[in-house]
Structures are given as structure tokens and as C-alpha cells.
Amino acid sequence: MPDRVGPDPQYDVFADEFLEHGRDGLYNAHYDRPACLDLLGGVAGKTVLDAACGPGLYAAELVDRGASVLGFDLSPRMVELSRRRVPAGSFRVHDLAAPLDWLPAESVDLVLFALALEYVDDRVRALAELRRVLRPGGALVLSRLHPTGDWLRHGGNYFEARVIEEVWSRGWHVRYWLSPLEQTCAELREAGFLIERLVEPRPQPEAAAINADAYRRLTSEPTGFLAIRAIPDPR
């Protein structure tokens, strides 16, 4: 297995299915989104950069809450879905591997980077770009797969970062990085961030009615996602 995820827009082929799955499903609507939206705090009147925006589910919620949203994604189909879902937002195709040269330094109040860190090969460089465009006093909110869950599924050496391939329950083929928690913390630090909060979210109570097994597991085991709020290091 090459130790790179590479530039292939993996989500393009199942972008529409992701939208259907993420709109009301337990993992996105009742677990990841509430956690990240809570960490973002009030967004009214703020400019939010939605990095790896997917089909615009976050962007829709942010615009409803009064934010101006700029978004980008590697997958052209995801960008199309975002534009359709959130006409008030501004979306483009962009790979996190490249500099955000269309955004001036210190031009956004908040950056959201939900469930996509795993697909990026040079995470420090990508995070440093997100840091560059954040205004002082701003914050980055990111979520990622919980590394303990990754390790329980794949075994091997927890501390050794590596690229793996999985086929998820809907037949989606995904290639992504497994990496320990300390590596994400170190990458944030190297990119110029200080971690303000780290949460291991639990699904919202109403999620029990959607999928009782997943609800029980995610309320008792570290096998889902985690979320971090980090601020530009002022030192």
C-alpha cells in the first residue's frame, strides 16, 4: 500500500449517496454536526471557511445561523451539490494539498474542517494554510475518526501512521490515513495552532431511535469521531 492517499477525488462517485446518508443519519446529523457546531459557537455575522465542505450540509446550517460561508472540496460533484443546496454560499473545487491562494491572509473568522483530515497527505501544510487565512481571535474546528476506533478495526501498531483502504457498509471504497491522537495534536502545533478543547462526542439522545446498536456503541466506546477547537497560537 503506497503511503499516500493521493489526489483522486474518492468521494465524487458516491457524493449523492453521501448527501442522502449525511443529511439525517446518526453519524453526521446527530453526532458529528452537533459536536462541531457547538465548538464553533455563535456564527452570526461571521465569515466561515468550510474546508472539504462535502455536499453543503454544514454550510446550510451555518448560513441558517447567519454566517457567510466560503467552501471548497476536492470533489467537483460535492461542490455542485453544495452550490445547489446553499445558493448564498460561495463554493469551489480545491485540493487541500494546494495553497489557498484565492484567500488573503487573516480573511476568515472561523474555519470548519469536518471529517476530512484523514484524506490529506501533507496535513501540516494544509493546516498551516488554514491558519494563515484565519483572523487573529478566530478558531479552527476539526473532526476526525477516533483513532482508537481505527486501531480496534485495523490492529497493528497504534502509534505508526499508515494509509489503509476500507469498503464501508454502503460499498464506498475509501483510502485514508490512520494516525494516533498525539500525531494530530503535534500536527496542529506545528501548523501554528493551540488546542483549546478536545471533545469525544456522544450522539444526541434522539439518535437511539435511528440506530439503537450504533447509539449504544457510540455512547460507551471510543469508536466514532472526535472533535477539536484550536486557535491560532499568538506566541
Minimum CB–partner distance for residue 102 and ligand SAM (Å):
14
Minimum CB–partner distance for residue 235 and ligand SAM (Å):
29
Minimum CB–partner distance for residue 48 and ligand SAM (Å):
12
Q: How many alpha carbons fall within 13 Å on the CB side of residue 73?
A: 28
Closer CB to ligand SAM, 97 or 198, in the complex: 97
CA distance 205 to 188: 31
Assigned C-alpha cell, 209: 431511535
Chain-centroid distance of CA 95 in Å reads 14
Residue with cell 488573503: 104
Closer CB to ligand SAM, 100 or 212, in the complex: 100
Minimum CB–partner distance for residue 158 and ligand SAM (Å):
22
Closer CB to ligand SAM, 22 or 138, in the complex: 22
Q: 3-class DSSP state for residue 209?
A: helix
Minimum CB–partner distance for residue 163 and ligand SAM (Å):
13
Minimum CB–partner distance for residue 92 and ligand SAM (Å):
10
Backbone torsions φ then ψ of 48, nearest 5 degrees? -115, 130
Closer CB to ligand SAM, 120 or 214, in the complex: 120
DSSP 44: T
Site residues (CB under 6 A) for ligand SAM?
Answer: 9, 11, 22, 28, 52-54, 57-58, 73-75, 78, 95-97, 114-116, 119-120
CA distance 169 to 228: 27
CB 188 within 8 A of CB 120: no
Strand partners, 166: 174
Nearest position to ligand SAM, beta carbon = 54
CA dihedral 27, 195, 141, 213 (to 10 degrees): 10
Closer CB to ligand SAM, 39 or 78, in the complex: 78
Closer CB to ligand SAM, 75 or 220, in the complex: 75
Closer CB to ligand SAM, 114 or 178, in the complex: 114
Minimum CB–partner distance for residue 100 and ligand SAM (Å):
11
CA distance 163 to 108: 32
CA distance 202 to 221: 10
